[in-house]
Amino acid sequence: MEHNDQLHDQAEVTLDQINKKTGRNMPQAIATAVVLIAIILGCLLISIDVFVALIVVFMILALWELRVDFATAGLHIPVFMLWICSACTLLATYYSPLHVVTMSLCAMASIVLVALSATAKLSFGNRLSLVVADKLSHTEAAARLESSFNHDGNEQHHSRLSHVAVSVLTVLYIPVLASCIILPLTFHGHPVAHAIMLVFLPALSDTGGLFAGAWLGKHKLSPRISPKKSWEGLAGSVVFAMVGAFAVMFCTYTPQVWATRWWVPIIMGILVGVVGTFGDLCASMIKRDLGLKDMGHLLKGHGGVMDRVDSILMAAPFTCILLWLTGM
C-alpha cells in the first residue's frame, strides 16, 4: 500500500511538471482533443456538407470569444453582423459554382457591413458585461499591467475608428481565413483528404511542437511573446506535420501521382509547421496586448476555440494554394 502511494505521489509530481512546462492541463487537453477528433471525423463520415456546417459553428464560437476578449479592453465588435457575414461567406463559398469569386465578393461586402455596424455600439442585455467581468477576475494582475490597456476597473474608451479597425481585422482573421478551409473542399475531387490536411496537420504540428518543446526545448523562439515556444519545438512541429502529410497523401493518391509529386508533403510540412507556429505567436501577441492568458474558455485544457484554431486559420491559405497549384 505504501509503495502504491509513493508511485501515485511520484506520478502526480511528474504530471505537475509536465503541466507547468507545457502551460496546459494535459489530461484535460488530451480528453478534449479526443472528443474534437471524434466530432470532426464523425462529420466527415456523414458528409462534407456536415463538415462545412461544423466549420461555421466553430467560427461563430470563435467570434463570440473574440468579442469578449476585445471587450475586456473596451473594444467592441458587432458580433451579430459578424455571425451573419461569416455564415453567409462560408456557405456561399462552398455552394456557389464560382467559389473564389463568391468568396471575394462576400469578403468585400462583409468588410463594408461590419465596418458600418461597428460605428454604432449596440448592447443587448448585460450578459457581455458579466462575462467580461468574470474573465478579468480570472486574469492575473501582472498580465493586465503588461498589456497595452491597463485595466484599472474602469471601462476603456476608444474612438469609433478603433472599433471599426478591430472589427475589420476580425473579418480578415475569421471568415476570410476560414474560407480557405472551405475552398479546397471544392476542387480536385479529394474533399475528405483536403479537410483532414487542413484541420489535422496544424493540430498535429501543434502536438509535435508541444512534445519536442517540453522534452528538448532549450533555445527560446520568442521569449517576449511566447516564453514556452522554442526552436526545438518548431522543428518538432515541422517534422510531425511532414509525417502527417506523407501519411494522408499516401492513403489518398495513386503511385503515378507520387512519382511526380513526392516533394509536396515536404513543402506542406514545412509550411504548416512554420506558418502554424507563426499563427500561435500572433494569437499570443494579441493575448499579451490585451493582458489575457487565454483567448477563451470553451475547450477544457485548450483555453478556448481561438486557442485551438489560430494555427489552423493561419495555415489554411498556404495549404489551399499549395494543393491547388500542385493539382492534388
- pLDDT recorded at residue 125: 52
Residue 14 one-letter amino acid:
T
Rg (CA), the chain: 21
d(CA 266, CA 263): 5
At a CB cut-off of 8 Å and minimum separation 6, what does 249 contact? Answer: 193, 258, 264, 265, 328
Percent residues over pLDDT 90 in the chain: 42
**What pLDDT score does 95 carry?**
95
Question: Closest by alpha carbon to 135, among 283, 279, 298?
Answer: 298
- Cα–Cα nearest to 164, from 123, 107, 118, 120: 118
Extended beta strands in 45-89, E state: none
**Does pTM surpass 0.85?**
no
DSSP tag of 183? G
pLDDT at 103 over 70: yes
Q: Kindly state the average pLDDT of the residues 47-63.
A: 94
Residue 204 has pLDDT above 60, yes or no: yes
| Angle between helix 160-171 and helix 79-95 axes, rounded to 10 deg | 30
- The confidence score (pLDDT) of residue 301 equals 47
Quick: pLDDT tens for 209-258: 878 777 776 777 777 777 777 788 888 889 999 999 999 999 998 888 88
Highest mean pLDDT of the ranges 1-10, 138-147, 208-217, 252-261: 252-261
Q: Is residue 28 a contact partner of residue 44, using CB atoms and an 8 Å limit?
A: no
- Residue 22 C-alpha cell reads as 507545457
pLDDT in tens, 156-195: 567 788 889 999 999 999 999 999 999 999 998 899 999 9
pLDDT band at 150 (very low <50, low <70, confident <90, very high): low
Backbone angles phi, psi at 147, to 5 degrees: -75, 170
Higher-confidence residue of 263 and 297: namely 263
